[in-house]
Amino acid sequence: MATYLDFEKPIAELEARVAELRETAEAGALNIDGEIAKLEERSERLLRETYAKLTPWQKTQVARHPHRPHFKDYVAGLVEDFVPLAGDRNFAEDQAIIGGLGRLGGRRVVIMGHEKGDDVASRLRHNFGMAKPEGYRKAVRLMQLADRFGLPVVSLVDTSGAFPGVQAEERGQAEAIARSTEACLALGVPLVSAIVGEGGSGGAIALAAANRVLMLEHSVYSVISPEGCASILWRTAEKAADAAEAMKMTAADLHQLGVVDRIVAEPVGGAHRNPQEAVAALGAAIGEELDALVGLPRERLRHERREKFLRIG
């Protein structure tokens, strides 16, 4: 069953009407193919017009859509012979971040990223994509492994932020995020990151201090969620839409500011409407970026990566 966002209600009504007419036509009672075609054309036009002028807050809703492709979907669609590697060799396994070895476009890579889950049980198991210190320490271990064996690293970011609980703070959340960010910057192999949903706070940058940062068209990337920003500035989360507008968190804004290097177009109506097309588009973009980076000297990769982030702001 399709899940519609609040601003998609007119689209939902048209598509529901089309579905009803199709059932009537299949029953053979009436020949209404012409009416169905007109409604489908109208629905498609409305969908295009709606998604062509989304506000930052509406883009945030799209980025959080429950049917949007997650890390496991990208791995299933793009990576062959994926071998997951678990644990931080220090405390525990954190399934909010998944990573391992595989082949992307025939090239051996280390791939890692946040996994939110797609139902109640998996969301609890993956902690809604909010990693604890052991998740970031696992990421550091994977990056060090990639560096040792000369394998490019690909990271997919989709998190509202690092887990803010007491347990995480007790185990050194801030230090773990800093170490993961440091590991990104120190890599002597190519690192390509993609913001595929939400990119929230240090929990995102810890995997995204990359040579190339890609961003799906309707993803968002910011230092704090719109609700969190509104709660600080206006003492109410009801101002989240205003906060989203002010924070410049959309792909277009961030590309203009130089925070992201490339915007990857999504299918009309968002990645959740055609996950296979979205996965393929991102895979092609990542492959092109890796082609441009593989073979560059280690020191040049490090230097360009550091300079890229020093230029921001």
Average pLDDT over residues 13-41: 78
Please determine, for residue 28, whether its predicted confidence score (pLDDT) is greater than 70: no
- Across 59-88, average pLDDT: 96
The chain-wide mean pLDDT, for the chain, equals 93
Classify residue 280 by burial, with Cβ atoms within 10 Å: 0-12, 13-18, 19+: middle
Residue 27 has pLDDT above 80, yes or no: no
Quote the pTM value. Answer: 0.93
Helices 240-247 and 56-63 pack at an angle, to 10 degrees, of 100
pLDDT per residue over 258-284, tens digit each? 999 999 999 999 999 999 999 999 999
Work out the percent of the chain whose per-residue pLDDT is above 70: 97
What confidence score (pLDDT) does residue 303 get?
A: 96
Residue 168 has pLDDT above 70, yes or no: yes
- SS3 label, residue 221: strand
Q: State the number of CA atoms in the 13 A half-sphere of 154 facing the CB.
A: 30
pLDDT, position 136: 97
CB 262 within 8 A of CB 254: no
- Find where tokens 């290097």 sit: 261
CB 115 within 8 A of CB 147: no
Q: Give 112-129 pLDDT, tens digit per residue.
A: 999 999 999 999 999 999
Q: What percent of the chain has pLDDT over 90?
A: 86
Please, which pLDDT band fits residue 24 given cuts at 50, 70 and 90?
confident
- Mean predicted confidence (pLDDT) in 150-173: 95
Residue 209 main-chain phi, psi, to 5 deg:
-85, 70
Is the pLDDT score of 291 beyond 70?
A: yes
- pLDDT score at 313: 65
Tell me the pLDDT tens digit for each residue of 195-245.
999 999 889 999 999 999 999 999 999 999 999 999 999 999 899 999 999
> Would the pLDDT of 1 be above 70?
no
Q: Please give the average per-residue pLDDT across 133-154, as a whole number.
A: 97
Helices (H), the chain: 9-26, 33-52, 56-63, 71-78, 120-125, 133-149, 166-170, 173-186, 201-208, 226-233, 240-247, 251-257, 275-293, 298-311
Look at residues 148, 128, 137, 209 and name the one whose alpha carbon lies nearest to residue 176.
137
| Cα–Cα nearest to 75, from 52, 45, 106, 98 | 98
